[in-house]
Structure 1
Amino acid sequence: MAAVEEKKKSKKRKNETPEERAARKALKKQKLLQPKPRSDSFSKPAALPQTERADASETSFAAFAKEHAVELSGSEPVPVVEFAKAPFNAACKQKLAKEGFAKPTPTQSVSWPLALTGTDLISIAKTGSGKTLGFLLPAFHRIEQKFERNSSTIAAPKIVVMAPTRELALQIASDAAKFAPCFGATTACCYGGAPKWEQIKKLRWLNNRGCVVATPGRLNDLQNQGKIFLNEVDVLVLDEADRMLDMGFEPQIREVVSRMPPRQTMLFTATWGKDVQKVARTLVSGEPTRVSFGDAASGKLTANKDVTQTVEIVESWRDKKVKAIERLKALHKDGSAKTIVFLATKRACDEVANELWYAGLKCDSIHGDKEQRERDRVIGQFRRNEVMCLIATDVAARGLDVSDVTNVVQIDFPAASGKAGVEDYIHRIGRTGRAGKKGEAHAYLTKDDIKANGRVLVAILRDAGQEVPAELAELTSRAGGKGGGKGGRGRGRGRGGFGRGRGRGGGF
């Protein structure tokens, strides 16, 4: 009977006039855009069975929280301290082992049991804490348990992850693509600066366990054009929510969320200021669980303590470049180091990259003058170890998440002034020492850098338990710097340029 009915419908559609066809498609789109009322399919799952939870006598939350500086508002979970205790399927655990993960990070240990209860979650943690798998794996597990796997011809994802930048969106999507097959899920990534038709094509291949990672602007455009339907979203994740608000994405986020049905919402942020709190209250349920790691909730700027920081004081920018190139040659002598080098200008990036390339290092650069496709190509090579030294402006300081970066070298201090400059400095450091791994960060400072940012930099070093060079402490005390932040300077007479002429040089 079903086959006969389908044949009749097909015959009827062939005889449609263009006006009738347009009206039918418009009606279908209107129905899809309407949020679904909460039904049994959107009910929150029960807490994990006790057999799937860690042994409470072995790892209590109180002891774990004290050791890892975790603060919680809500019901206490039993931390998942080893992958064997997690409820994820065997394929997922095998993939974790294959990717080289030894055990869950503190963020994952707490986020997993909280997220798996189905409650809304607010997590305040610094970058590099392993939060990406902290929300992806519970989301995939949830839809695996709730929805039978089948194909779909409508771009209607069950999981939506929003991120502030295309770099971060691409990284999250890369991690999602690694683990989605373990749960019978499919993924797509949507972001600005790339052709829409390619992304729309991928959306059409989503099955009923689809996961879409997107920037707010592109996601809003696609839903307004009827290319993606959000009426079946079961899990919403806002990653780096503070960053999205800083970039002015609040209107797009609200419009996107208004099209979604009741769901589980997880909000991840590195800071917990008043603006973030205000928006969070309107996006999550009335009684969300809130968890913070370290002093992230205090808003205090702190560097990752898994990163060993060293600083070197030099006379000029030329000295910075010469010493940095010598250091990078030594680091990459045996081919085991994987380094990100930060500079203030685009021209400086290309200049240093060229010198290192001719010295035999596998390196390349990314900055604002390069097209998105070119930047994606270079970052892809960096992930695959085809490029071992990445030279970058701050376009890569936040959102680039490569777990095996061993070293960060800062030739120039961030150009942003005041608190923003110090935040950029900390985020640069955070590119190494990720997901519980150790890393090293080295910075070159001139007296101008110290005068502008010395006191704040000394405080960052001390808070992270790092050694403060006597010369830096002395110069800081003498200069009385308050953290204004001038950033790195170009040499020559130009404005940030590198030649002797009067050109402006490169900016961000």
Structure 2
Amino acid sequence: MTFAGFGLAKPITDALARAGFETPTPIQAQAIGPQLEGRDILGLAQTGTGKTAAFALPILHHILGMKGRPTPGTARALILAPTRELAVQIQDEFRRFAGGARISTCLVLGGTSRGGQIRMLSRGVDVLIATPGRLTDLVDDRKVRLDEVRFVVLDEADRMLDMGFVKPVKRIVSMLHPRRQSALFSATMPSEISGLVETFLTDPVRVEVAPQSTVAGKVEQSVELMDGPKKRARLAEIVSGPGVERAIVFARTKRGADRVAANLVKDGVAADAIHGNKAQNARQRALGAFKLGKVRVLVATDIAARGIDVKGITHVVNYDLPDEPENYVHRIGRTARNGADGVAVTLCAPDEEKKLRAVEKITGEVLHPDGPAAHRQPRGPRKAANGAPRKDGEQGRPRRRRRRGPPRSKAA
């Protein structure tokens, strides 16, 4: 199958040809056709499978077939994303696939100019890409109406759940046009997402390109067992090694990400951090420098890393194991994309043994046969106070024997 076989509008096929896309990925092959026919889609796919194009291409095709312009203060299509980085990435993809067609897009997310977003929405837009928090803020202020949205996508729905966005998402969905076409994409399907599917989608076509919680086959995984204080030096060795072109390092907390990035810089490695406490422009600068190769290592938290789609990431390092084992799959999915090979290294301290075992349970892989306790050096024979090895059963210091009789004189 080729993209030409879908019958997409000419501006889209021309843009795909210029980008060098000929053969759709499995998720695209399964999802594009039903959406062109007007069907709802439930897509189960991990990151790096091409799911953005799987929903962007049909939406663009439908919009190009619509007459007139969007009504002021409305949007024809709404894409909800859990993070700012993912929203920016989705807008870039829509613009690329639209080619030279006059398709207007608008980003609505926190950390950027609210006034600029309001001015753009006041004219009406074809595609609105938003995070739930800022969108509900603008809806409450009556700066945008959602009742004319005809196409809606919930991307990375499981991450929406993790970030506490399910209630805002349900509220947003209740405001949409009743005869909309909907799509929901998620890497996993927890029970709460299953409940959302029942209310959000109508007779959906289910497409699944990989079993849940599986790792891309071209990722070479390894686990190194060590005490926490030794991680800094080992990380610097890994990212400075041969073959490391771009690397993402995952830290558990925002402070931890800043600390790891600062230590790498001190150790002579060009690095920057990206997390939720950074302003949007700072996050974009860091991501831009990483894409251009000015910064070889990007240190990120789990939430900030969702949506990062940078070509040529050769290595992923888990400096800290994730609290949620499913995030391990999302983390290492940053590498080995689009048929490339990749390397994922996990640095595991003794107090992270349970987290490692949880990861092994959901992935079905034994990442290290011995577990973190195996790196502890066995103690040698316990020695007595005089330095000689103790005899079996001997404990503590040797007791001094009491002398009987009168003490010896100093002269003796």
Task: Specify the TM-score bucket, using the shorter chain as the normaliser.
Answer: 0.7 to 0.9
> SS of the counterpart of 2:75?
coil
In the alignment, what sits opposite 2:60?
140
2:342 is equivalent to residue 439 of structure 1: yes
2:153 is equivalent to residue 237 of structure 1: yes
In the alignment, what sits opposite 2:223?
311
The unaligned stretches of length 5 or more in structure 1 are 1-80, 477-508
In the alignment, what sits opposite 1:302?
214
2:234 is equivalent to residue 323 of structure 1: yes
Q: How far does residue 473 in structure 1 lie from its aligned partner after superposition?
A: 9.1
The unaligned stretches of length 5 or more in structure 2 are 376-412
Aligned length: 374
In the alignment, what sits opposite 1:506?
none
Going from structure 1 to structure 2, the CA distance change for 1:235 and 1:205 (only over 3 Å counts) comes to same
Measured against aligned partners, the alpha-carbon deviations of 1:431-454 in whole angstroms (never above 9, x if no partner) come to 22234443221111123323x234
| More helix by percentage | 1
Give the whole-Å Cα distance in 2 for the aligned partners of 1:444 and 1:184.
48
Choose which of 151, 167, 170 in structure 1 pairs with 2:88: 170
In the alignment, what sits opposite 1:268?
185
Give the whole-Å Cα distance in 2 for the aligned partners of 1:270 and 1:93.
28
Going from structure 1 to structure 2, the CA distance change for 1:99 and 1:344 (only over 3 Å counts) comes to same
> SS of the counterpart of 1:344?
coil
In the alignment, what sits opposite 2:314?
406
Instruction: Give the letter aligned to residue 45 of structure 2.
Output: A
- In our comparison, the structure showing a higher alpha carbon Rg is 2
Pick which of 317-326 and 81-90 moved more. Answer: 81-90
Give the whole-Å Cα distance in 2 for the aligned partners of 1:182 and 1:111.
24
8 Å contact 2:107–2:130 — kept in the other structure? yes
User: TM-score scaled to structure 1, two decimals?
Assistant: 0.67
Measured against aligned partners, the alpha-carbon deviations of 1:319-374 in whole angstroms (never above 9, x if no partner) come to 221111011111467xxx11111123445434443454466544311234422321
8 Å contact 1:303–1:460 — kept in the other structure? no
8 Å contact 1:187–1:206 — kept in the other structure? no
Give the whole-Å Cα distance in 2 for the aligned partners of 1:169 and 1:461.
28
Choose which of 358, 362, 365 in structure 2 pairs with 1:456: 358
Pick which of 270-279 and 358-367 moved more. Answer: 358-367
Choose which of 428, 431, 454 in structure 1 pairs with 2:331: 428
8 Å contact 2:348–2:372 — kept in the other structure? no
Instruction: Give the letter aligned to residue 194 of structure 2.
Output: Q
In the alignment, what sits opposite 2:29?
109
Instruction: Give the letter aligned to residue 92 of structure 1.
Output: I
Give the whole-Å Cα distance in 2 for the aligned partners of 1:182 and 1:387.
32
Give the whole-Å Cα distance in 2 for the aligned partners of 1:245 and 1:457.
20
Choose which of 281, 287, 297 in structure 1 pairs with 2:198: 281
Give the whole-Å Cα distance in 2 for the aligned partners of 1:350 and 1:332.
25
> SS of the counterpart of 1:158?
strand
Measured against aligned partners, the alpha-carbon deviations of 1:24-70 in whole angstroms (never above 9, x if no partner) come to xxxxxxxxxxxxxxxxxxxxxxxxxxxxxxxxxxxxxxxxxxxxxxx
Measured against aligned partners, the alpha-carbon deviations of 1:268-305 in whole angstroms (never above 9, x if no partner) come to 122223322222111222x2222222223xxxx33232
> SS of the counterpart of 2:240?
helix
Give the whole-Å Cα distance in 2 for the aligned partners of 1:94 and 1:181.
7
In the alignment, what sits opposite 2:390?
none
Going from structure 1 to structure 2, the CA distance change for 1:458 and 1:277 (only over 3 Å counts) comes to closer
Give the whole-Å Cα distance in 2 for the aligned partners of 1:248 and 1:444.
29
Give the whole-Å Cα distance in 2 for the aligned partners of 1:468 and 1:250.
33
In the alignment, what sits opposite 2:404?
none
Give the whole-Å Cα distance in 1 for the aligned partners of 2:298 and 2:57.
29
8 Å contact 1:123–1:291 — kept in the other structure? yes
Choose which of 50, 59, 77 in structure 2 pairs with 1:130: 50
Q: How far does residue 83 in structure 1 lie from its aligned partner after superposition?
A: 2.7
Instruction: Give the letter aligned to residue 274 of structure 1.
Output: S
Give the whole-Å Cα distance in 1 for the aligned partners of 2:144 and 2:200.
21
Going from structure 1 to structure 2, the CA distance change for 1:403 and 1:203 (only over 3 Å counts) comes to farther
8 Å contact 1:321–1:352 — kept in the other structure? yes
